[in-house]
Amino acid sequence: MDLVRRTIELALENVENGGRPFACVISRGGKVVAESPNLVAQTHDPTAHAEIVAIRQACQRFGTENFEGHDIYVLAHPCPMCLGALYYCSPDRVVFVTTRDEYSRYYKDDRKYFELENFYDEFSKPWQERRLPMEHRPEEDRRRSLLALARVELVIRGEEAVPNRPGASLRGRPTISLPRLRWT
């Protein structure tokens, strides 16, 4: 099967059905294991990009978020959200059919903060200079609690050793005591 052609066909079918012209095919050993068009228009879900939907399908099917041994085909160079998901799932390669420059003259969106021409530049700016208003509210008790939860994840995965303590354990590993979360 020509997976680039399948990606294009999926995008064309999506346009015929009222969707946007984007699609993603995930393969292993040349066989399709998941595929999806962009479903934003149909679902009114801004995260329903083709890559995200296909990645979710494959994760559920295989019970993992690690895509080593897989190739991912997309119609257009991935947006930052999809690119982040692609980095996270770590396929062997991503094949894209068109570049941003090639499809930018055809792509129009009416979002308040999103224009394809300058959207990618926003990521290199410090958060204080981005068009999307953001504010940082550091609260030391909550920050320490969240960092402790992140450490627990490492302990559960066996990536961080902790001193033995009497009492319960996490999957047979020693536990650590966490500060209580106090949300107001």
Q: With contact defined as beta carbons under 8 Å apart, do 50 and 75 qualify? A: yes
Q: 149 vs 38, 42, 142, 177, 181, CA distance in Å? A: 34, 37, 11, 10, 10
Residue 87 CB partners (closer than 8 Å, separation 6+): none
**E-strand spans in the chain?**
23-28, 31-37, 70-76, 93-98, 169-170, 173-174
| Residues facing 169 on adjacent strands | 174
> Could you say which of 13, 35, 51, 159 is catalytic?
51
Active site residue 51: yes
Q: With contact defined as beta carbons under 8 Å apart, do 61 and 34 qualify? A: yes
Q: Which residues are catalytic?
A: 51
